[in-house]
Amino acid sequence: MTIQFRNETFRNDFTYANSPGNIPRFPFPFPEDVYMYSTNVEPHHATRAGSPFENAFDVDEHYVAEMKDRALVLAEDPGRCQALPHMETAGWDFVELVMVSKARDYPDLFELTIDGDRWHWINKPLQIDDSFIFGDSSTLPCHPMEYIGRQVQGDHAILDQRDGNLWLDAGIITAQADWSLDFDIGMNFFEWHAPVPLAHELGVFQRALKFLLSLPQGQPSRRLNWTLTVNPRLDTSPENYPKWGPDRTTVTPENIGEKVHLRVELQTFWRLPRSNAILFPIRTYLMAMNEVVTQPKWGRRLHRVMRDLRPELVEYKGLSRYHPMLVEWLSQFDDGALTSPGIFPD
Amino acid sequence: MSASDHLIPVVVSKVVEVNSIIKRFEFKHVDGDELPAFSGGAHIVVEMLDGPTKRKNAYSLMSSPFERGQYAISVRRDDDGRGGSKFMHEKVEAGMKMKISPPVNLFALDLRAKKHLMIAGGIGITPFIAQMTQATELGVPFELHYAARSASQAAYMDSLQDRFGDQVSCYCDDAGGGPDLVGLLSDQPLGTHVYVCGPRGMIEAVVQTATGLGWPAAHIHFEHFLSPPVGQAFSVHLAKAGIDITVGPEQSLLEAIEASGTPVNCLCRGGACGQCETKVVSCEGDIAHNDHWLDDEQRASKQFIMPCVSRFRGERLELDL
């Protein structure tokens, strides 16, 4: 199946949209009618053809446009891509994982030829055709993490493992939900999660860290996380808060269906072989409320989840200003019918 | 979930008698595929099918982390042990098919180090062989201090000196004894990390000396080589599974739980990583805590056990599994 890549923007005129065929494959994050934190981790193995869980690194109709948006962010702010000096081996692990996975899963789009250390990589959608020596960064135009990070959807953090903890020592982060690599770099697992409410008391992070420290090679895991974003903007970084913070004041009952987007992160966790680090891809999917409610099950459930959301979470996720308006708007799609278990549309 | 859930089928490609107590085993993928890349210090778990008994022992990979065609481990024969090393020495031959886990690294080099100072005792040399290959490739300075009982038992001593020259210093108990730890640890450049793998006494001496000299704990790394000890057979009740199991004299509690089909986490199988920590529901008797994981308070509480190495003697032990 050849993907028709959309020509669209995530800023200024915001032409981003999901084509009708793309809507049902959205990773709707609520398996039940209520939401509370859980570590909700499951094996990241191929699940459900046509879903975003079918392949190791999902490629969809937004791929080319997202990579253009990443290039714009990096041109304005090179600090969005940083790697501490000891993370170069991990960068090469990342190159190998993405290239091998994409060439295997999308042979019509990506080709990889390996001859010892000599690698030849063709990325057709981005019109890249490069040869390089694996492990020799001087044969790439930039750090290996940046090189491959510019060719794969989603932000990518790389966590060094030492002293019984994980350290955020490298990342290429241009599509984040209000956190800063520049602020967090070098922090350990508890330090960078410190702002999250409620979860510490529940012991969520202790359990999550124990799980991640023992993550085996070849057995990746995944979980979904979510928030809401006004306008389909990928770059909602603290650095650019003045550009997107005021968007929240523009929501009205008339435009809420097109303005407010459900923002879902498909987070996966991979043990990297040569560096013993963990690759943490954070792949963002955006869908306007008008698009979400085309699936009746999702409309009903989203109303119930939003209506009953804990106040701490409304505040933490930055929804306070328009939350009551959204619950009211969503109520028209909730007829009270039972919803089926799981996240997939009926 | 554990690494040993997803085993790799391999064929024993070579068995080499290194000396009177140590044999080296080399493995290739059954289909000739590449084996997973790994980092120096990683181990694999080898599954041994010895008649009706299934044993799983962890061994450090000593082959080059850049060689994907085959893995190598070295096994020291322990005649007083549970029989895993005896099985490897007596039953395993070239051409035999076996299963191994993907590599797991609980003893990785700290890649921030300006220099790696490695101290090995006996068979504890094996993870360092892979780490020295890695450090050489990365261009980071290292030195190895390798102590053995006698020249005849010092596996790979000559070949390591040939390969790595004066980066390797060797010591034999029957010819003057081990390294001067105080001298060694007093005179290292800033940013040095020290790694020790060997007998318990050696690990304690290095950790205490380094700590006493003011080394930061984060710069001191050690790997205990602990095999599950043998003992008397005992019975255990698994509360969630609702079954009773019996642990044989040469079997570990972890192996007995696995044999019953009950899921249990684990990684190192040697009492160090903490993954198999299990809650004790009730205990009428004494737990022999053989691990390096639980603290004194946890041991005294009798509320936790590490099934990979610990055993029980008494009336009744009930676990939250």
Query: Is B275–A218 a contact, with Cβ atoms under 8 angstroms apart?
Result: no
For residue B181 the two structure tokens come to 């730890």
In the block, tokens 């070949």 appear at B159
Average pLDDT over residues A168-186: 95
Question: In chain B, whose CA is at the least distance from the CA of A43?
Answer: B1
- Give B104's strand partners: B43
For A64-82, the pLDDT digits (tens) are 999 999 999 999 999 999 9
What residue spans of B8-61 are helical by DSSP H?
none
| Rama region for A318: left / alpha / beta (φ>0; ψ in -120 to 50; rest) | left
Give me the pLDDT at residue B2, please: 53
**Contact at CB, A217 and B274, closer than 8 angstroms:** no
Q: Which residues of A touch B8 (CB under 8 A)?
A: none
Does B280 score more than 50 pLDDT?
yes
Nearest Cα residue in chain A from B130: A274
Q: Looking at chain B, which residue has its C-alpha nearest residue A209?
A: B275
Which residue in A161, A214, A218 is closest to B36 by CB distance? A218
Which chain B positions have a beta carbon within 8 Å of A273's beta carbon? 36-39, 103
Q: Cβ of B212: how many Cβ atoms within 10 Å?
A: 11
Set of chain A residues whose Cβ sits within 8 Å of the Cβ of B138: 89
Residue ranges of the alpha helices (H) in A42-110? 63-76, 88-105
pLDDT of residue B1: 42
Mean pLDDT of A328-338: 96
DSSP character for B214?
T
Nearest to A35 by CA among A319, A346, A325, A337: A319
Asked if residues B144 and B133 have their Cβ atoms less than 8 Å apart, the reply is no
Q: In this structure, what token pair is assigned to residue A146?
A: 């940046």
Lowest mean pLDDT among A140-149, A164-173, A198-207, A305-314: A198-207
Provide the strand spans (E) within A25-154.
42-43, 81-83, 110-115, 118-123, 128-133
The confidence band for A210, taking pLDDT boundaries of 50, 70 and 90, is confident
| Cα Rg, chain A, nearest whole Å | 20
Task: Say whether pLDDT at A169 is over 50.
Answer: yes
**Lookup result for tokens 């699940």:** A47
Total-model pTM = 0.90
CA atoms within 13 A on the CB side of A320: 7
Q: What integer is the mean pLDDT of A220-249?
A: 94
CA distance A304 to A32: 9
pLDDT at position B273 is 81
Q: Respond yes or no on whether ipTM tops 0.90.
A: no
Mutate to test the interface with A, among B33, B39, B292, B293 (most CBs of A within 10 A): B39
On whether the CB atoms of residues B73 and B61 are closer than 8 A, the answer is yes
Least confident of B177-186, B213-222, B286-295: B286-295
What are φ and ψ of residue B57, in 5° steps? -115, 145
User: What is the average pLDDT value for chain A, to the nearest integer?
Assistant: 94
Res. A1: pLDDT tops 60: no
Contact yes or no for B2 and A87 at CB 8 A: no
Domains, chain B: 3-100 (2.40.30.10), 115-223 (3.40.50.80), 234-319 (3.10.20.30)
pLDDT for the residue numbered B5 = 64
- Kind and range of the H or E element at A149? helix A144-149
Residue A321: active-site member: no
Write out pLDDT tens, residues B50-89.
888 888 899 999 999 989 999 999 999 988 888 899 999 9
How far is Cα of residue B135 from the mean position of the Cα atoms in its chain? 21
Evaluate if residue B225 carries a pLDDT over 70. no
Q: Quick check: helix, strand or coil at residue A265?
A: strand
A210 and B110 within 8 Å at the Cβ level: the answer is: no
Q: Which residues of B touch A158 (CB under 8 A)?
A: none
Integer CA distances (angstroms), B22 to B15, B19, B44, B72, B269, in order = 11, 5, 18, 13, 21
Decide if B1 and A276 are in contact by the 8 Å CB cutoff.
no
What are the phi and psi torsion angles at B5 (to 5°)? -75, -25
Beta bridge partners of B168: B144
CB A197 within 8 A of CB A316: yes
**Residues B38, A218: C-beta atoms closer than 8 Å:** no
Q: Which residues of A202-231 are buried (b: 16+ CB within 10 A; e: fewer)?
A: eebbeebbebbbbbbbebbbbbbebbbbbb
- Residue A129: other Cβ atoms inside 10 A: 11
Region B127-143: mean pLDDT is 97
A311: contact with B, CB 8 A cutoff: no
Q: Which of A166-180, A240-254, B1-15, B156-170 has the lowest mean pLDDT?
A: B1-15
Between A45-49, A53-57, B172-176, B302-306, the lowest mean confidence (pLDDT) is in B172-176
Give me the residue from B6, B108, B111 closest to A218, CB to CB. Answer: B6
The percent of residues above 90 in pLDDT, for chain A, comes to 85
Paired tokens of B273? 């990583």
More confident residue, B212 or A214: B212
The C-alpha atoms of residue A262 and residue B105 are separated, in whole angstroms, by 39
